[in-house]
Structure 1
């Protein structure tokens, strides 16, 4: 009985298990069918809005600035040469490299012995020529007196011939007397002709003596100039460069011993590309006298000078491109010929343009304009100039539009954005001024005094340091150099 009861219990449990499994399978099947028959649910997506910096394209007139590099040179440069050779008897103490001389200052004196001897010989020849002129004048006077006497004698012979012929006609004289009178008259005429020839020779002697006198005077002038050339003077105020002689030395004819440079008459030469050159031409195709600014960074202090373009190179040198331009500078303390400087040129002004960051313009010269509902639209602009990190664009029909200042690959036409309007163009911040204590001020002034700066630059920096407040940038640069 027990076995049967257990067997029935097992069969019952097995049947219940199979029923439960069948019921679970039916539930799963019904759930799958219901799930597959349901419509798909869609979760609403929010549109992504990007925050962007924007600027407004306000039409304005801008003067583009062209930045190039150039070299300073002096407009007044004179090669100092010795016109004659010889031993140096005297040399100025300022005839050294970098020496400063004044107009008319004696630079050197060459031994004048040979030049003085040549001048003395020329003067002696001049005296001989002058004596010859006087002798020729006296010879002409005597020749004129001889001619006058010969003509008087010829007149007397003619009178005697007339009287002899008259006596012969009256039968008182003889034919022999007439012939004798005719011979005497003929001889007198020959004498007159001889005296005229003597007078002509005396006059020709005067012409020859006058020519010799002129040549003698020329020789004296040349000898006097050669003597004067033994002394060399400064033609203008300036600084000496390339000095190659020393006291007690010897120079040869036409030897270049130094170069005199006027450091105050400066100009800058610089090269621009052909396209940049074309922007500096007027309507007639002539180069405009555009204003320029020249800067030179010297020990943390910028030297600056103003100027104006004056001319251009006549031809393009072999292997070069663009155009070589020259600009005259106003008085520029601290600058020296040979300095390599930065040149900023003001081009003709552009109207109806705007200055925007370079990141706002795509390579295809388009910008992203914020339109209705803060969405973006591509707009065409004309890229006119590049100014460092900014560009100048022509507005066209986009005047007053709001554009994206900094483009990114995430931005494009039709995208909704959240504009962040930057503040308008602000004036350049004033340099930060700080007060110095006495020890720090004295340390900076001592550093400037010991530095290799020109005296005028030192005076200007020291004047800034002695003020109650000093530019933080100037102090930082000087202290950085002190620590280097």
Structure 2
């Protein structure tokens, strides 16, 4: 019994001796590797705001042409067809004028007769006045008026006025037998042919004015303060660029572009999208004929230049993560997370209206798993591309 215990105690002693004689490993410090990044320097400045939206081109002036007199159509202008271009005052169609010409001739005859009757009555009144003076007058006023042929003279004057009114009406009806365009327009619809009987209920054509069209642009409500809107604190509206992208891959222009200006704000907000309707006027939408026209019904993209915004910093799209986060290289070359406010986007750049200070070094390189406090090294993109010997610190990027 003593022997096994001794053996066990001896083994423990030997194990303790071996443990005390083990070699001690020295702990090495792990060197932190700085991630190379590219940066841009935040330089806040004042720039005009830019608001983008989409909308539909609608007519600023549209009218349905209907005759004011009836008759048979004897002439139709070649341009009176869908898509035809007509000028202000151009003849669209003519109604047979003969009945109205005869009415004018008859009315002119009646006027001549009424003038003759008035002249005769004036002579009779003059003779009556002289005779009245010879007999001494002195009668009551009403009897004197009768003796001097006052009622007869007034009746002749009224007859002349009625005849002249009849003549003016006849001339107006004759003038209305010619249907003219009230403004420069494009024909949207037409509904008459030569030989057709028309009346006051006949729709001859539908015209859309081409001097100016209007675009109804949908804009988020929160972006309205960025725009100059006449009647809402501005006398002149923000300038706008209206672009229609054309589908298809054939030859010729792929877009139709026109300049415009904001002229007003729609009367209500869309409850589904929470957008407001901004009205943009486009002058001379047909252009000079050298390119395609901008026509009603077109779906367009609109870019509007708004009020100048101070303190705006421009950074590439890639610098902003999750919509509102940028990473800044702080003193000590450590990452710092910043929340920013994005004002608008333009040509691959984001315009930030808050969250950065002048001189901040904003990281533009892709970051796989960025964390606050991570060590980084600012590099010069000109020396970090393929074939370069290595990245060099961009000392000039430090504030």
Q: TM-score range by the shorter chain?
A: 0.7 to 0.9
Aligned-partner Cα distance in 1 for 2:12–2:346: 73
2:114 paired residue among 112, 123, 129: 129
Q: Against the structure 1 CA distance between its residues 33 and 57, is the aligned structure 2 distance closer, same or farther, given a 3 Å change threshold? A: farther
Larger C-alpha radius of gyration, 1 or 2? 1
What residue is the counterpart of 2:264 in the other structure? 311
Aligned-partner Cα distance in 2 for 1:396–1:53: 20
Q: Against the structure 1 CA distance between its residues 32 and 232, is the aligned structure 2 distance closer, same or farther, given a 3 Å change threshold? A: farther
What whole-Å deviation, never above 9, does each CA across 1:372-409 have from its counterpart, x for those lacking one? 33222234544433447542224677211212225646
Q: Against the structure 1 CA distance between its residues 102 and 388, is the aligned structure 2 distance closer, same or farther, given a 3 Å change threshold? A: closer
Aligned residue pairs: how many?
364
Aligned-partner Cα distance in 2 for 1:79–1:343: 30
What whole-Å deviation, never above 9, does each CA across 1:392-442 have from its counterpart, x for those lacking one? 22467721121222564621221112334446xxxxxxxxxxxxxxxxxxx
What RMSD over aligned residues (CA atoms) do the two structures have, in Å?
A: 3.8
Following superposition of structure 1 onto structure 2, how do residues 307-386 of structure 1 map, counting pairs within 5 Å? 307-313=260-266, 315-316=267-268, 321-329=275-283, 332=287, 333-338=291-296, 339-361=298-320, 365-379=324-338, 381-386=340-345
Which residues of structure 2 form unaligned runs of 5+? 1-6, 383-399
Q: CA deviation at 1:357?
A: 3.2
1:280 paired residue among 211, 215, 227: 227
TM-score for the superposition, normalised by structure 2: 0.76
What residue is the counterpart of 2:32 in the other structure? 47
Following superposition of structure 1 onto structure 2, how do residues 398-413 of structure 1 map, counting pairs within 5 Å? 398-406=357-365, 408=367, 410-413=369-372
What residue is the counterpart of 2:130 in the other structure? 145
What whole-Å deviation, never above 9, does each CA across 1:70-116 have from its counterpart, x for those lacking one? 23345454432211122212222222112233454432121234434
Q: Against the structure 1 CA distance between its residues 284 and 228, is the aligned structure 2 distance closer, same or farther, given a 3 Å change threshold? A: closer
Question: If each structure's strand is expressed as a fraction of its own residues, which one has the higher value?
Answer: 2
What residue is the counterpart of 1:59 in the other structure? 44
1:97–1:241 contact (8 Å) kept in structure 2: yes
Aligned-partner Cα distance in 2 for 1:334–1:242: 20
Where 2:193 maps in the other structure, the secondary structure is: coil
Aligned-partner Cα distance in 2 for 1:33–1:82: 123
Aligned-partner Cα distance in 2 for 1:408–1:309: 41
Q: Against the structure 1 CA distance between its residues 344 and 367, is the aligned structure 2 distance closer, same or farther, given a 3 Å change threshold? A: same
Q: CA deviation at 1:321?
A: 4.5
What residue is the counterpart of 1:293 in the other structure? 241
1:143–1:198 contact (8 Å) kept in structure 2: no
Q: Against the structure 1 CA distance between its residues 379 and 37, is the aligned structure 2 distance closer, same or farther, given a 3 Å change threshold? A: farther
Where 1:217 maps in the other structure, the secondary structure is: helix
Which residues of structure 1 form unaligned runs of 5+? 1-21, 155-188, 424-484
1:224 paired residue among 158, 166, 171: 171
Aligned-partner Cα distance in 2 for 1:396–1:194: 96
Where 1:354 maps in the other structure, the secondary structure is: strand
Q: CA deviation at 1:42?
A: 4.0
